[in-house]
Structure 1
Amino acid sequence: MAISTQGTILNITGTKGETPINIDVAIKSFPDLGAAPAAIEVTCLSDDSQKFIPGIKGMAAMEFVANYDASVFEQLVGAEGLDLTYKVNFGETEYSFSGKHNALIVGAGLNAAVDMKVVVLPGSKITKVA
């Protein structure tokens, strides 16, 4: 069954020292939640076409875009570089992973909303939360 992206939230949790962190970001877009594995070539000279086996999945920086909100942006900047848990919530379904992030304000032009990005470097596999 298809679902809508309406209501999708990025939730960031963890601690800074003994202070709990819990940031909800009302995102406008999110990246792929996973990656294809690298292709490891295993072709022999006797083969008539290339052969590959799957390698490690190459997760890159994940960019989440949201409308700029000064309060949320301040929280995001205050939590930069910390090992945190990230959850993308689609309502009935939630995916989770760990990582570290940076926050930035996106460049804009005339007659445009100001956006911000949360750029996460994943530190674990993305898993569905039961």
Structure 2
Amino acid sequence: MTEKAHNTSMTYLMNSANGTTYTKLVDIKEFPDLGSAPPTLDTTTLSDMMHTYINDILDTGGGLEFTANYKLEDYKTLLEHAGKEENYAVWFGAKKEGEVFTPDGSFGKFEFKGELSVWKKGAGVGAVQDMGISIAPSTEIKLNQATGA
């Protein structure tokens, strides 16, 4: 059977002390790109009839920025992780038991190490209170190949 497309429901920001057992950190509303096209380096010589290139190393462009609803308890939880290199992951997919969804990463688990920071975002009239979460990756973001169907 061909796998169908998935919406963004059941997307989770996960954290792990040991890199193997993950727990949901906080509910998120937005997540960043977890990769990008690599920059290219020009290898053209004067003998070439067109420009030639090789790929450079990947660059996330800095911290990976997530958005979450501002809740004081969640903010305090995030502050406990701030400024420390820890294991993080973005999991796609969950299993449903009754009315409860449990993250399982069945559509993919993207894992990396990084340092978290959190801040309260500004807002205007008629807006939801948000907070920003940034994780500066210190390792490559990789798909856990053991996940999925």
TM interval, shorter chain, is 0.7 to 0.9
Residue 3 of structure 1 corresponds to: 6
Distance 1:75-1:22 versus aligned 2 partners, 3 A rule:
farther
Match of 1:18 in 2: none
TM-score using structure 1 length: 0.87
Identity %: 34
Q: Could you state the TM-score of these two structures normalised by the residue count of structure 2?
A: 0.77
Distance 2:37 2:83 in 1: 26
Corresponding residue number in structure 2 for 1:32 = 33
Counterpart in the other structure of 1:119: 134
How many matched pairs?
A: 125
Partner SS for 2:51: coil
The structure with the greater share of residues assigned to strand is 1
AA aligned to 2:27 is A
CA distance in 1, matches of 2:16, 2:123: 29
Moved segments of 4+, more than 3 Å: none
1:52-91 correspondence to structure 2 within 5 Å: 52-59=53-60, 60-91=62-93
CA distance in 1, matches of 2:114, 2:124: 31
Unaligned residue ranges in structure 2 (runs of 5+): 94-105
* Residue aligning to 1:48: 49
